[in-house]
Amino acid sequence: WPKARSLWNDRRSGPVMVKLLTRAEIEEFFARLKKHIPDPKTELQYKNPYTLLVAVALSAQATDKSVNKATEPLFKTIDTPEKMLALGVEKLTDAIKTIGLYRGKAKNVIALSEILLEKHGGKVPKDREALQALPGVGRKTANVVLNVAFGEPTIAVDTHIFRVSNRTGLAPGKDVLAVELNLEKRVPKKFKQHAHHWLILHGRYTCVARKPLCPTCVVRDLCNFPDKTKELAAEKPKLKSASTKR
């Protein structure tokens, strides 16, 4: 998990404590993100809850782009635990070798597929505890699956959400769990379903780590970050359109 200092302070010797956003500001914060992206989607490609679980597990310490590159051909034929076990660990390892830590991830995917068949009838459980009992599945992965596959208002905190929450004053915390619990308390109920996606997309394409694109930020005036940029970065990351089912 990311440490608070590396993402909170942006090259400073100590943490930058920012003023907390008020309830009214948080309401406006999410209203603007919703207006900017009315129906946010995960950028990971998937076909069903099982392939989503696999994709999220593979995305640990890897980019969505690299995962999609590997899973696009894989998921065309392998989309159930049964098919994954038939494929086997050697062929799966070869299929995902472009992803970081691929050997360990391949073993985890085979192992979790076995457990899904043995204990859950081949289905992905809708229970956090059961999900986190699967090999290679931590709290963040469980939260993503519960949110995207089953519509639960969970908030999975990754590097981007951790940075945005601390930098803006939305929901500061020293670690990802503290940020998650703070977000659970501070995000208005009506925005919780998509809060994870709004924040991750905002952090990935606007509130980037080294030089945030403050001049084009839709919540610039609400944000309490003291070192807002005044010039655009040399190149703005391009937001790819999301398909209706991924």
Residues catalogued as catalytic: 140, 158
Q: How many CB atoms lie within 10 A of CB 37?
A: 17
In whole angstroms, what is the distance from residue 200 CA to residue 17 CA? 21
Is the distance from CB of 166 to CB of 172 less than 8 angstroms? yes
Distance (Å) of CA 120 to CA 37, 84, 148, 158 = 36, 16, 19, 28
**Torsion angle defined by CA atoms of residues 148, 153, 159 and 165, in that order, rounded to the nearest 10 degrees:** 150
Is the distance from CB of 143 to CB of 156 less than 8 angstroms? yes
Distance (Å) of CA 42 to CA 45, 46, 99, 118 = 8, 9, 18, 29
- Phi/psi for 185 (5° steps) reads -80, -35
The residue type found at 62 is A
Is the distance from CB of 232 to CB of 216 less than 8 angstroms? yes
Burial 193-204 (b: 16+ CB within 10 A, else e): bbbbbbbbbbbb
Can you read off the two tokens belonging to residue 17? 């404590």
